[in-house]
Structure 1
Amino acid sequence: MYFSVITPIENLRRQAAYELAKPLAQSPYEEHQWLWQFFPSNAEQSRDFIFRRHEIAQIPRFYVVSQRPPTAFSEAWQVQSRSYDPQLLEGQRLSFQLCANPVVTKKNNAGKPQRHDVVMHTKKQLLVERGFNAEAKWKEWSDEDNKPLLYELVQKSCIDWLQSRASSNGFAVIAASVDAYAQNRAGKRHIRFSTVDFSGELLVTNPTLFQQALFNGLGHAKAFGCGLLLVKKIEGD
Structure 2
Amino acid sequence: MYLSLLTLNSRSKRALTESSRPYELHRSLLKAFPDAADGGPGRVLFRLDVNEQTGSISTLIQSEKKPLWTRINGYASFVTECKCKEFKPALSLDQIFRFRLRANPTKRMKSTGKREGILNTTEQVEWLRKKGMNNGFEIIDVIALDEGFVKDKLTDTDNTGHNTNMFSVRFDGLLKVTDVDVFYSTLRSGIGSAKGFGFGLLSIAPIKE
Q: TM-score range by the shorter chain?
A: 0.7 to 0.9
Give 1:103's aligned residue: 106
* CA-CA distance at 1:19 after TM superposition: 3.2
1:41 corresponds to 2:42: no
Distance across 2 between alignment mates of 1:89 and 1:72: 32
Match of 2:58 among 58, 61, 72: 61
Q: CA deviation at 1:181?
A: 3.1
**Secondary structure of 2:162 counterpart:** coil
Q: Which has the higher helix share?
A: 1
Query: 1:7 maps to what in 2?
Result: 7
Asked if the contact 2:42–2:64 (Cα under 8 Å) also holds between the matched residues in 1, the reply is no
Q: Quote how far apart the aligned CAs of 1:14 are.
A: 5.5
Which of 209, 212, 219 pairs up with 2:192? 219
Conserved 8 A contact 2:45-2:61: yes
Of the structure 1 ranges 157-166 and 100-109, higher mean CA displacement relative to structure 2 is found in: 100-109
Structure-1-length-normalised TM-score: 0.74
Q: Indicate the SS of the match to 2:88.
A: coil
* TM-aligned CA distance change 1:88 to 1:224, over 3 Å: same
Distance 1:166 1:30, change over 3 A: same
Residue identity in the other structure for 1:201: L
**Do residues 71 (structure 1) and 61 (structure 2) align?**
no
Which one-letter code corresponds to 2:61 in the other structure? V
CA distance in 1, matches of 2:48, 2:201: 10
Q: Which has the higher strand share?
A: 2
2:132 aligned with 1:159, yes or no? no
- In the alignment, is the contact (CA less than 8 A) between 1:94 and 1:203 conserved in 2? yes
Higher deviation after alignment, 72-81 or 55-64 = 72-81
Partner residue of 2:117?
Answer: 117
Percent identical residues: 26
Are 2:189 and 1:203 aligned? no
Cα contact 1:155–1:177 (8 A) shared by 2: no
Query: Which residue of structure 2 lines up, in the alignment, with residue 86 of structure 1?
Result: 89
Partners in 2 of 1:42 and 1:18 — Cα distance?
29
The corresponding residue for 1:28 is 22
Query: 1:172 is matched with which residue?
Result: 138
Q: Please, which moves more after superposition, 74-83 or 52-61?
A: 74-83
CA contact (8 A) 2:33 2:67 kept: yes
Aligned positions, number:
193
TM (normalized to structure 2)?
0.83
Unaligned runs of 5+ in 2: 154-160
Structure 1, gaps ≥5 residues long: 120-153
